[in-house]
A = this chain, B = another copy of it.
């Protein structure tokens, strides 16, 4: 891909994730990339097209990641904790929920998700549906294997994911996305995960 075009996408993602699509002007992006305003229209049809390309890029990356996670969790773990928890969860957390690129996209989606019904759908999909669906399947597998009680894997997924989602919301919107804040998110999330699996093990 063209160097300038990628610079524009990077700058746009940074700005959109900080202030939202409509609060960022073409001028703002160009100032960061250090090109003239008209030049941006050589690379993109219009402002919306920048947003769209950003989203599309993300969707292909995230889809790939999710399918890897799905495959990973298909091969049933021998021992519950060391394999699934340590591998699958870690991958989902570090490569998705805490990944710098994904976080920027999520912030951007969070800000813009009511600009259109389509946006809303995409937001719901990547923030709620996909993670919950993935975790639901995980619990359903664990249930089938007799590792956890087989009942209501969807509610189990909610109980598992909701606190993580809550911590993530705080992390995503604590101002700048600094490493320090991310660490707090990480600690809270893992504290919950450990407790959660421990409590399950008790039963």
User: When A and B form their complex, which 9 residue pairs have the shortest distance between CB atoms, in order from nearest?
Assistant: A162-B162, A162-B163, A162-B166, A158-B163, A165-B166, A114-B173, A113-B173, A22-B23, A120-B173
CB contact list, A19-37 vs B, under 8 A: 19-20, 22-23
Interface check A198, CB cutoff 8 A = no
Q: Scoring A residues 108 to 135 as 1 if CB is less than 8 Å from chain B, else 0, what string do you get?
A: 0001011101001001100010000000
The distance in angstroms between the C-alpha atoms of A96 and B158, with both chains bound, is 22
- Size class of the contact patch on chain A: 20 to 34
Q: By DSSP majority rule, is chain A's interface helix, strand, loop, or mixed? A: helix
Please indicate the chain B residues that have their CB under 8 angstroms from the CB of A170 in the complex.
Answer: 124, 128
CA of A162 to CA of B111 in the docked complex: distance in angstroms? 20
* Min distance, Cβ A150 to any Cβ of chain B, angstroms: 16
Check B22 against A155 for contact (C-beta < 8 Å): no
Cα(A117)–Cα(B195), bound, Å: 33
A161 within 8 A of B: yes
Q: How far, in Å, is A85 (CB) from chain B's closest CB? A: 18
Closest residue on chain B to residue A113 by CB atoms: B173
